[in-house]
Structure 1
């Protein structure tokens, strides 16, 4: 026993020594890119763990927006991105951020550290115990990041909480995170406990008492480890009230957790609003990737029930001809294509295949054209943590119909100045009833909802993100760990 304790003590000492040496080597690694004469804002580095930084999605918009905000606020801040993406030149990342999001980063103060073991966080390597496998894989990826560079502030933006203890205890640096959704939540535990079959609780498990109990034990153990790792954070930013509630429940860090809504390019969508075009037909647009959790089947079933209601009301055929469901989304791989094929089959089964249009891998310009001609925006994911697609549809001027849960329910499709901003529903019957209400509304009433919604979603703009992000960073990180720190040589 004494020998074991000695070995553990030596291991801890070795790790601390390694950390000390890496910090020394890291200290002036990027100093040539900073203005070291600025005494008011001493040179410091913020390391962002974002292994897939070249993807071009909502998570990447948050990453580049955060870096831009820090560079504008602190002239001596150098942002270092840990990434597994291999490109010919780091300038490609900066160019893509500008082209895709119109975010102009400082080429000298945006640096990259390349990680070789990114494959360890891919879910395809963990067909069972996926959460645990990916989390342990992220820890090993975090070790690689730790060994290559230790920043003054470690900022995690992709949900890899198992990396926090490495930088908190061994590197002894400030740990910040922007959490899009909890890796595990009480909702997931409830679904398993109630034996509900969902995209992350297979029918094989949900129909077995023994497997359900085993999965509950696994989830509870994982939740405890996840909670421990999360409590290593010094600054926690979350993307919605729903996420905040779950993170507070798991991590118990309410006093240093702040909602910072993700930046949405509402100006671009706001610019296409044309109240005459929207109601020329009754197009219902869905903007979402073809992933299982997006629940496109619900939209198709709701359309079928809605069309049935129109027929029962003896709606003229020429008016029914104006109704269409536009499923706009990207197909990333064969799995996505298989899901699209299944959705086509469902539309044929319901006899409405001529009413459902699949708009696959659409360009951004074509997306804007379709939204400008749509009367309704529809979104059906259960427990969508935020819902950027919902915000974009509202900014574009569609009357929004979303699922009555999580981000859309708590933050987005909420009354604004006493006016309705959209509709919420939970099942195909509820969606169909809401579609009928919108269909029967006057043009004037629809526009009242649209105007209230478009004004309301300005709170999710790029400018608001910058303001709220810097407020959280200043309060929980900069003033405590940077401003009073010893200046660099």
Structure 2
């Protein structure tokens, strides 16, 4: 009963907030003199694939609507020059001109730490508060969300905006519901809830309520772009707007990586892992699999130099704590002398690291797409990815009948894949790497730019 009351209270607060917003809009119909495209992206320094999409989308909009000003709604202490420099240095993207920065001071309302309980609904409703701050500060003609805050769409429409979204990952999905129903313990379903029938039942009900609200909010977008077949399936199921939903693969830097040589010194080579230091990335599984693979590899001196290089960005103190925990795990597994951690590296350093890797490992369950997997393939590193979602459905699939990599789920399967990559005959490894590189061309920045512009033109 307490859960039901909490959800009802949140729902009433949400409806009340929308009514206030509607009244505000009716009383303030004056539009901006200059047409504006606003990108709602509260975290512009997260360093992941979502940030790359942001800057590629900004550049595409600047080319598509040259007379429009582009505004970034961000909670970071950023300036137009610092954002342009970040796009260039971190992702190799040159903006046509600096963007306008609209600073958001209420970002705490979308941070997970603000909601120890009911995080999903808390962050979702919190995004409405943050969107209110953004829209009252500067109301754009086109409101573009590239972060998945679907609950902001009804509010943006009430402010008279045309709403476009690029969704990387549904806030809630049938897969999440299934895990709770089956009482499977994961990073977003802790073991205490998984062990309890009553807590699991209550969480299923909670997820269903959130899913219903999410579906309604998402359906308010005028145009929805999604990054993969897996995401499209869930969004069409929840939002029920298939005629306005388009798959646009995210931009991957395949042009720079495609120029790297395919030949690698395998025996003394290394495996690379590229992912933010977040719990869902399952770095612990990588360490366990690497330890097991080392036990299987030939004991000759040639294989004594095989290493694992974990590359990622730390967004905050929590990520830094996870990084330290991973280092401690390496010591416990007695592989600390074979694992290197490369935190917050520059784009140039990342390219160099990818260029020397024999294989690339990815372990996230239901990765919506998997930009890092594409980067492995484009760079010539054989991908070893999780057998689910984007990597399985769109990326690590055969190219003209040729295998492009390996899919795995368990520690043992990952270890077996690592062993196979390092013991493959050189000719076969090169054939696989060539097929993977060709497959990666489908996910280039140029293809994203073309598809994104084609989809945006539907608004005209």
Whether TM-score is above 0.5 comes out as yes
Distance (whole Å) between structure 2 residues aligned to residue 101 and residue 289 of structure 1: 15
- Structure 1 pair 342/468, CA: closer, same or farther in 2 (3 Å)? same
Question: Does the 8 A contact of 2:46 with 2:315 survive in 1?
Answer: no
SS at match of 1:113: strand
Q: Is the 8 A contact 2:268 2:303 kept in 1?
A: no
How far apart are the structure 1 equivalents of 2:325 and 2:221? 42
Mapping 1:120-139, distance limit 5 Å: 120-139=109-128
Q: Deviations over 1:45-64 (max 9, x none)?
A: 32211112244432222112
Matched, 1:119 2:139: no
SS in structure 2 opposite 1:62? Answer: helix
Deviation at 1:292, TM superposition (A): 1.0
Matched, 1:377 2:360: yes
- Residues 133, 194 of structure 1: alpha-carbon distance in 2 compared, 3 angstrom cutoff: same
CA contact (8 A) 1:180 1:239 kept: yes
Q: Structure 1 segments of 4 or more deviating over 4 A?
A: 10-17
Matching residue within 141, 153, 160 for 1:164: 153
The answer on 1:86 being equivalent to 2:66 is no
Map residues 71-110 of structure 1 onto 2, 5 A cutoff.
71-87=62-78, 89-107=79-97, 110=99
Q: Does the CA-based 8 Å contact 2:258-2:378 persist in structure 1?
A: yes
* 2:285 counterpart of 1:279: no
Q: Work out which of the residue numbers 27, 32, 44 in structure 2 matches 1:27.
A: 32
Q: Secondary structure at the match of 1:27?
A: coil
Name the TM-score, length of structure 1 as normaliser. Answer: 0.85
Q: 1:307 and 2:294 equivalent?
A: yes
Alignment partner, residue 245 of structure 1:
233
Q: Give the Å deviation of 1:15.
A: 5.1
Spell out the pairing of 1:262-411 with structure 2 (5 A cutoff): 262-275=250-263, 277-279=264-266, 281-310=268-297, 315-411=298-394
Q: Which moved more, 1:368-377 or 1:237-246?
A: 368-377
Task: Quote the offset at 1:14 in angstroms.
Answer: 7.5
Residue 444 of structure 1 aligns to a residue whose secondary structure is helix
Q: Give 1:409 deviation, angstroms.
A: 0.7
Q: C-alpha distance in 1, partners of 2:20/2:285?
A: 55
For the aligned residue pairs, the C-alpha RMSD in angstroms reads 2.2
C-alpha distance in structure 1 between counterparts of 2:217 and 2:94, whole Å:
34
Displacement after TM superposition at 1:96 (Å): 2.5
Q: Return closer, same or farther for 1:102/1:349 CA change in 2, 3 Å cut-off.
A: closer
Deviates more, 1:127-136 or 1:144-153: 144-153
CA distance in structure 1 between the partners assigned to 2:257 and 2:189 by the alignment:
36
Are the aligned partners of 2:262 and 2:433 in contact in 1 as well (CA < 8 Å)? no
Q: Is 2:209 the counterpart of 1:182?
A: no
Aligned 8 A contact 2:36 2:70 in 1? yes
Q: 2:182 aligns with which of 174, 177, 194?
A: 194
Q: How many aligned residue pairs are there?
A: 445
Larger Rg, first or second structure (1 or 2): 1
How far residue 321 of structure 1 moved from its aligned partner, in angstroms, is 0.5
Are residues 127 and 363 of structure 1, via their aligned partners in 2, closer, same or farther at CA, if it must alter by over 3 Å?
same
| Partner residue in 2 for 1:486 | none
Residue 346 of structure 1 and its aligned partner are, at CA, apart by: 3.4
Deviations 1:352-380 (A, max 9, x none): 33332323333333333332222111111
Question: Does the C-alpha gap of structure 1 residues 400 and 56 become closer, same or farther in structure 2, counting only changes over 3 Å?
Answer: closer
In 2, Cα distance between equivalents of 1:13 and 1:299: 49
CA distance in 1, matches of 2:183, 2:17: 44
Inter-partner Cα distance in structure 2 for 1:259 and 1:160: 18
Deviation at 1:211, TM superposition (A): 1.0
Partner Cα separation in structure 1 for residue 268 and residue 146 of structure 2? 41
Return the offset for 1:131: 0.8
Asked if the contact 1:377/1:400 (under 8 Å) is kept, the reply is: yes
Contact 2:311 2:343 in 1 (8 A): yes
Q: What is the distance in 2 between the residues matched to 1:351 and 1:18?
A: 61
Comparing 223-232 with 62-71, greater Cα deviation is found at: 62-71
List alignment gaps of at least 5 residues for structure 1: 1-9, 32-43, 480-489
Q: Is the 8 A contact 2:262 2:430 kept in 1?
A: no
Following TM superposition, by how much is the alpha carbon of 1:19 offset from its aligned partner in structure 2, in angstroms?
1.4
Match of 1:413 in 2: 396
Deviations 1:404-440 (A, max 9, x none): 0111111111111111111101101111222222222
Structure 2 residue matching 1:354: 3-state secondary structure? coil
1:234 equivalent in alignment to 2:222:
yes
1:191-243, Cα deviation, whole Å (9 max, x unpaired): 11111111111111111111111111111111110111011011000111111
Q: 1:405 to 1:166 in 2, by over 3 A?
A: same
| CA shift in 2, pair 1:377/1:14, >3 Å | closer
Which residue is 2:434 aligned to?
A: 451
Give the direction of change, closer, same or farther, for the CA distance of 1:370–1:68 in structure 2 (3 Å limit): closer
Matched, 1:435 2:418: yes
- Give the C-alpha shift of residue 274 in structure 1: 4.1
Query: Do 1:185 and 1:246's aligned partners in 2 also have CA atoms closer than 8 Å?
Result: yes
2:132 aligns to what?
143
Residue-by-residue CA offset, 1:92-121 (whole Å, 9 max, x unaligned): 22232233333333437x323222212211
Stretches of structure 2 lacking an aligned partner (at least 5 in a row)? 1-15
CA contact (8 A) 1:53 1:83 kept: yes
| 325-334 or 190-199, larger mean C-alpha shift | 325-334
